[in-house]
C-alpha cells in the first residue's frame, strides 16, 4: 500500500539504519530506529492509529508535526503520546486507543 | 538561570542561537520535534539558476554549526506555558521548568484546515504532513493523492510528491461553506495565484503562472478556465472543480468532485468520484503564536502576515521586557527571512545583555531582513511588505503611547 522512498532523485539514497522491532495493538512490526512511530506504521501499511474516544471512528495522522494531537497513542503505558513526534525504539509496546464508555450519555438516552 | 532560552529550533531559532552563542550568551534551545530544523526540514525546491534548496541539508548545516559552538539543544520537549516572575521568565515544559533572563519565541507556523465532510478518515492529512512524510521520513503518504486547496504551498508540495514518484490525481478547490471562504472561490484563488506565482518556488507554479498571465488566459479569466484543469507537471490544477466530500469507510478511498461556477457554487449533476488512497488539505499557514498570547503581549490581526501576530519592533523586540520573537511567529514567509530575523533578534538580545553590539550592526541586520524578503523566491502573500509596514505603525503608536505614559 505505502512504501519507503529508498532512492530519491534529489535527496539521494536512503542511508541504511538500524532496524527495531515494536508491537502495535499486539502485532509485531519493524521500523527504522529513531523514525517517528507514525512513519514506521505507515511504511508497514497502517494508517489507523486509534479510534475516537466518543464516536469510535478511525483516526490517523493529520498534521504530522505535533500540532493537532490526532495521532495520540499509548506508548509503554503512557497515554496521549503523539505518534508523529515520538521516535520508535526497540521493544516499544504501542496501542491505539478505542471508544471509551460514556455512562452518563448512555443513561440519558433512556432516562432523560 | 540562563541568559537566553529559545523555543523552536527551526531556521529562526537555530540562527538566533548561533548568533547569540557567538556573542557569548549562555543559551538553551528547546524543541518538541525529534530533529532540529523545524519546517525547513521538509523544504525542497529548485531555485532560479538550478540550485536545489534542500531543507535537510540546510538544517544539517545549521545544526552542525550549533553543535560546533557547543549549544545545548533539547529535542522532544514541548513547552506548554510561560510566565514572567520577578523579571525572569519561567518556561514550563513537559517534566521540567526552566528559568531565563531573556526568552525568544521562534515557534513558526501552523497549517489551517479546510472543512470537508470525511476529513477525519485515516489517509486525510494536511499538505505539510505529506511533505514531511515524503521528504523527511521518506515514506510515501500513499500511492495516489488528491490535494484540496490551491495555493503556493500546495503547488510546491504537489511537485515534491511528483519528484518522489507519488501520483497526484488532482489539485482542486474545497467546496464553499461558512468556513472555507476565499479558498473556495475560483476567481479569488486565481487572483491570489497570479500575484504570487512569479515568486513561487516550483517550476510547476511558474509554468502555471505563464499560462495564467498570458493575455488570452487573463481575458478569458476564470470563466473559460478548462473544467478539467490546466496541467502543470502533468498534475491537473482544477480551479473550476471542488471536492465536496472525501469518500471511504475505514480509510480514504476517493473524493467526490463537482464543477463550480466562477463564484464557487456547485453546479448540480456534475458530481464525479475519483479514486485515491490519500487526501491532502491545504488551507494555508498562520503564525503559531499561542505562547506569546499567554504573556499578555498585544496582538494585531494582519491578513498579509497570515493572521494574528504579536506586536514587535523591526529588531524583534516585543513590548515585554526580555521577550523577543523571530521567524514565522511574526508572519508567514520563507525560511531565509526567518533566518535573518533570527540573527537580528539575537543581536538585539546580546545588546540588551550589555554586549558590545554597534547600532550599525543591528540596523544592518534589520536591512538584511528586508533585502532577503525582496529577493525571496517564495512569498506566501503578495502584500507581505504592506503587512510589515502596518505592524511597524502599530509598534510606533505603541511606543508613542508608552512615552506619553512616562511623561
Ligand atoms: C507544514 C509547513 C510546511 C511548510 N513548507 C514550506 C515550504 O515548503 N517552503 C517554505 O519556504 N516555507 C514553508 N513553510 C513556512 C515555514 O514556516 C518557514 O519556511 C520557516 O520554516 C519558518 O521558520 P521558523 O524558524 O519561524 O519556524 P519553524 O521552522 O516552524 O520551527 C519552529 C519550531 O518550533 C517548535 N515548536 C513550536 N511550538 C513549540 C512548543 N510549544 N514547544 C516546543 N517546541 C515548539 C516546532 O517543533 C518547530 O521545530 C512551511 C510551514 C509549515 C507549517
Ligand atoms: S498528527 Fe498532528 S499531532 Fe501528530
Say if residue B43's pLDDT is above 90.
yes
**Which of B108, B126, B106 shows the shortest CA–CA distance to B116?**
B126
Average pLDDT over residues B125-131: 98
C-alpha cell at B149: 486547496
Say if residue B57's pLDDT is above 70.
yes
Helix (H, G, I), strand (E, B) or coil at B347: helix
Q: Is A86 on the interface with B (CB under 8 A)?
A: yes
Q: What is the pLDDT of residue B405?
A: 73
DSSP A36: B
Look over chain B and give the mean of its residue pLDDT values, rounded to a whole number. 91
pTM over 0.80: yes
Q: What is the pLDDT of residue A103?
A: 80
Residues near ligand 2 with C-beta < 6 Å? A 61-64, 66-71, 82, 84
Q: What is the pLDDT of residue A109?
A: 76
Helix (H, G, I), strand (E, B) or coil at A84: coil
Determine, for residues A58 and B121 on separate chains, whether the beta-carbon distance falls below 8 Å: yes
Q: Is A99 on the interface with B (CB under 8 A)?
A: no
Judging contacts by C-beta atoms under 8 Å, the chain B residues touching residue A47 are 122-123, 251
Indicate which ligand has the atom closest to the C-alpha of B75.
1
Judging contacts by C-beta atoms under 8 Å, the chain A residues touching residue B44 are 10-11
Average pLDDT over residues B301-323: 97
Q: Is B75 on the interface with A (CB under 8 A)?
A: no
Say if residue B178's pLDDT is above 50.
yes
Say if residue B235's pLDDT is above 70.
yes
A96-99: which pairs have CB atoms within 8 A and are 24 or more residues apart? A96/A24, A96/A25, A96/A48, A96/A49, A96/A50, A96/A51, A97/A50, A97/A51, A97/A53, A97/A72, A97/A73, A98/A50, A98/A51, A98/A56, A99/A51, A99/A52, A99/A53, A99/A54, A99/A55, A99/A56
**B44, B139, B144, B160, best to mutate vs chain A, most A CBs in 10 Å:** B139
Determine, for residues A62 and B129 on separate chains, whether the beta-carbon distance falls below 8 Å: yes
Average pLDDT over residues B234-247: 90
Say if residue B206's pLDDT is above 70.
no
Q: What is the pLDDT of residue A93?
A: 98
- Residues 57-76 in A contacting B (C-alpha not used; CB under 8 Å): 57-67, 70
Is any ligand 1 atom within 6 A of the Cβ of residue B327?
yes
Average pLDDT over residues B157-183: 89
Q: What is the pLDDT of residue B210?
A: 55
Q: Is A42 on the interface with B (CB under 8 A)?
A: yes
pLDDT, tens digit, 9 for 90 and up, residues A26-38: 999 999 999 999 9
Average pLDDT over residues B238-251: 94
Say if residue B205's pLDDT is above 70.
no
Q: What is the pLDDT of residue B224?
A: 66
Considering only CB atoms, B32 lies closest to which of A58, A85, A87, namely: A85
pLDDT, tens digit, 9 for 90 and up, residues B314-328: 999 999 999 999 999
User: Which residues, other chains included, contact B114 with Cβ-Cβ below 8 Å and sequence gap of 6+?
Assistant: B148, B149, B174, B179, B180, B183, B184, B281, B282, B283
Say if residue B311's pLDDT is above 60.
yes
Say if residue B247's pLDDT is above 80.
yes
Strands of the sheet with A93-95, listed across from one edge: A27-32, A19-24, A93-95, A72-75, A78-82
Find the range with the poorest average confidence among A13-22, A89-98, B212-221. Answer: B212-221
| Cβ neighbours of B399 (radius 10 Å) | 12
Determine, for residues A61 and B143 on separate chains, whether the beta-carbon distance falls below 8 Å: no
Rounded Cα distance, B107 and B309, in Å? 12
Rounded Cα distance, B386 and B377, in Å? 18
pLDDT tier, B199 (very low <50, low <70, confident <90, very high otherwise) = very low
Rg (C-alpha) for chain A, rounded Å, is 17
**ipTM computed for the complex:** 0.94
Full DSSP string of B67-119: HHTT-EEE-S--EEEEEEETTEEEEEESS-EEEEEEEEE---EEEPP---TTT
Say if residue B294's pLDDT is above 50.
yes
Say if residue B390's pLDDT is above 70.
yes
Say if residue B209's pLDDT is above 70.
no
Amino acid at each position: 500500500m505505502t512504501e519507503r522512498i529508498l532512492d530519491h532523485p534529489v535527496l539521494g539514497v536512503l542511508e541504511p539504519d538500524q532496524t527495531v522491532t515494536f508491537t502495535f495493538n499486539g502485532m509485531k512490526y519493524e521500523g527504522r530506529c529513531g523514525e517517528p512511530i507514525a512513519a514506521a506504521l505507515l511504511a508497514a501499511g497502517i494508517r489507523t492509529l486509534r479510534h475516537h474516544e466518543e464516536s469510535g471512528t478511525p483516526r490517523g495522522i493529520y498534521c504530522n508535526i505535533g500540532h493537532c494531537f490526532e495521532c495520540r497513542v499509548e506508548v509503554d503505558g503512557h497515554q496521549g503520546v503523539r505518534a508523529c513526534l515520538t521516535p520508535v525504539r526497540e521493544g516499544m509496546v504501542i496501542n491505539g486507543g478505542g471508544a471509551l464508555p460514556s455512562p452518563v450519555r448512555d443513561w440519558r438516552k433512556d432516562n432523560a | 538561570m540562563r541568559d537566553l532560552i529559545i523555543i523552536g529550533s527551526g531556521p529562526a531559532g537555530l540562527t538566533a542561537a548561533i548568533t547569540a552563542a557567538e556573542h557569548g550568551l549562555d543559551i538553551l534551545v528547546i524543541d518538541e520535534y525529534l530533529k532540529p530544523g523545524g519546517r525547513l526540514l521538509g523544504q525542497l525546491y529548485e531555485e532560479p539558476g538550478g540550485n536545489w534548496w534542500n531543507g535537510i541539508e540546510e538544517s544539517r548545516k545549521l545544526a552542525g554549526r550549533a553543535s560546533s559552538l557547543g549549544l545545548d539543544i533539547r529535542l522532544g520537549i514541548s513547552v506548554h506555558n510561560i510566565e514572567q516572575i520577578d523579571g525572569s521568565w519561567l518556561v514550563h515544559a513537559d517534566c521540567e521548568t526552566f528559568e531565563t533572563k531573556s526568552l525568544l519565541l521562534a515557534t513558526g507556523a501552523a497549517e489551517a484546515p479546510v472543512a470537508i465532510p470525511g476529513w477525519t478518515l485515516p489517509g486525510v492529512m494536511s499538505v505539510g504532513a505529506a511533505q514531511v512524510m515524503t521528504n523527511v521520513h521518506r515514506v510515501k503518504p500513499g500511492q495516489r493523492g488528491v490535494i484540496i486547496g490551491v495555493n503556493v504551498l500546495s503547488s510546491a508540495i504537489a511537485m515534491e510528491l511528483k519528484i518522489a514518484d507519488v501520483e497526484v490525481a488532482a489539485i482542486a478547490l474545497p467546496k464553499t461553506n461558512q468556513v472555507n471562504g476565499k479558498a473556495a472561490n475560483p476567481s479569488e484563488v486565481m487572483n491570489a495565484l497570479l500575484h504570487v506565482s512569479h515568486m513561487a518556488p516550483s517550476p510547476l507554479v511558474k509554468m502555471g503562472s505563464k499560462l495564467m498571465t498570458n493575455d488570452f488566459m487573463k481575458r478569458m479569466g476564470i470563466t473559460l478556465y478548462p473544467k478539467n484543469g490546466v496541467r502543470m507537471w502533468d498534475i491537473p490544477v482544477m480551479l473550476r472543480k471542488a471536492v465536496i466530500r472525501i469518500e471511504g469507510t475505514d480509510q480514504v478511498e476517493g473524493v467526490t468532485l463537482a464543477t463550480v461556477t466562477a463564484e464557487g457554487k456547485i453546479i448540480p449533476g456534475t458530481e464525479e468520484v475519483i479514486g485515491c488512497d490519500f487526501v491532502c488539505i491545504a488551507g494555508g499557514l498562520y503564525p503559531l503564536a499561542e505562547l506569546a498570547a499567554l504573556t499578555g503581549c498585544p496582538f494585531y490581526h494582519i491578513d498579509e502576515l497570515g493572521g494574528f501576530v504579536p506586536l514587535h519592533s523591526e529588531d524583534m523586540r516585543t513590548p515585554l521586557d526580555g521577550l523577543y520573537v523571530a521567524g514565522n511567529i511574526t508572519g508567514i514567509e520563507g525560511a531565509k527571512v526567518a533566518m535573518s530575523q533570527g540573527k537580528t533578534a539575537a543581536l538585539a538580545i546580546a545588546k540588551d545583555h550589555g554586549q558590545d553590539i554597534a547600532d550599525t550592526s543591528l540596523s544592518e541586520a534589520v536591512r538584511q531582513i528586508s533585502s532577503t524578503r525582496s529577493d525571496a523566491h517564495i512569498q506566501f502573500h503578495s502584500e507581505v511588505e504592506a503587512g510589515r509596514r502596518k505592524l511597524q505603525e502599530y509598534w510606533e503608536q505603541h511606543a508613542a503611547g508608552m512615552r506619553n505614559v512616562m511623561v
